[in-house]
Amino acid sequence: MQGAALQSQATAAEKAAAVDGLFPKSALDNHASRRILVLNRNWQAVNIVGIRHAFALLFREDAQVIDASENGQNTYDIEEWLTYSLENPPAKACDALLTTRFPVRIPDVLILNDYDRLPMKEARLSRESIFERDEYTCQYCGGKHSADELNIDHVIPRERGGRNTWENLVTSCIRCNERKANRLPHEAGMRLQRRPRKPPARPFAASAISEHWANPEWRMFLHA
Ligand SMILES: [Zn+2]
């Protein structure tokens, strides 16, 4: 049993090594910033990976290519994709991975063969994510504002040991922020509208669409 597991690992490693064998490192490096969307077998977005990881998934036969330009109608395993690349050379240099033999088309979207789970992504603490959690509403007076009219308030002021946490940061309008100053809410005669908490994790797709390098070819797969 253990032997079989080791053997299949060796095979996976060999196939991953094939990525480096077929594709010179410089060719992979030329596309270091390229990102490929990965779907689970239920067509739900579950990851965004670099080009080396993407081809390793293909060579290990863990994933197939979905050709987004064909409305996701066709999927290709690695052999079919190499053949397709040979017969339909990539039109643009940015879509071509140069190998020792012929340029291989760089896929935009992969679909995993076996994986059907939907991992959740933890919310990342940032100014924008606090505003988003609080729905751009001042947590003291309840006024709704645009981002440039809002501040982040430390409920327990930093000077008094208040930290940068989901539970201690709230959206505040500039007026309430100035009024509260370096005091606790009750010392300023103010009350929070609701207790600040960490927002629940969201399915990966909901957070992926906002990533700045989101590829237009991904759009049809990120509605979930
Ligand atoms: Zn306010």
Whole-number Å distance, alpha carbon 163 to ligand 1 midpoint, is 21
Q: Which of 101, 7, 119, 12 is nearest to 56 (CA)?
A: 12
End-to-end CA distance of the chain: 39
Whole-number Å distance, alpha carbon 211 to ligand 1 midpoint, is 30
Query: Are 82 and 75 contacting, i.e. CB atoms less than 8 angstroms apart?
Result: no
pLDDT for the residue 201: 85
pLDDT for the residue 163: 95
Work out the number of other CB atoms within 10 angstroms of the CB of residue 153. Answer: 24
pLDDT for the residue 213: 54
Whole-number Å distance, alpha carbon 93 to ligand 1 midpoint, is 52
pLDDT for the residue 36: 92
pLDDT for the residue 7: 43
Query: Are 36 and 48 contacting, i.e. CB atoms less than 8 angstroms apart?
Result: yes
Point out the residues of the chain with pLDDT beneath 50: 1-8, 10, 212, 224
pLDDT for the residue 8: 47
Give the span between the Cα atoms of 8 and 5, in whole angstroms.
5
Whole-number Å distance, alpha carbon 164 to ligand 1 midpoint, is 20
pLDDT for the residue 99: 84
Around ion ligand 1, which residues have CB less than 5 A away?
Answer: 138, 140-141, 143, 173, 176
The first and second tokens of residue 3, run together, are: 């032997």
pLDDT for the residue 183: 96
CA 147 to chain centre: 23
Q: Which domains does the chain have, with CATH numbers?
A: 2-120+204-221 (no CATH), 127-188 (1.10.30.50)
Overall residue count recorded for the chain in this entry: 224
pLDDT for the residue 10: 47
Q: Helix H segments across 73-197?
A: 78-87, 127-133, 174-180
Give the span between the Cα atoms of 37 and 110, in whole angstroms.
6
pLDDT for the residue 13: 55
Whole-number Å distance, alpha carbon 141 to ligand 1 midpoint, is 4
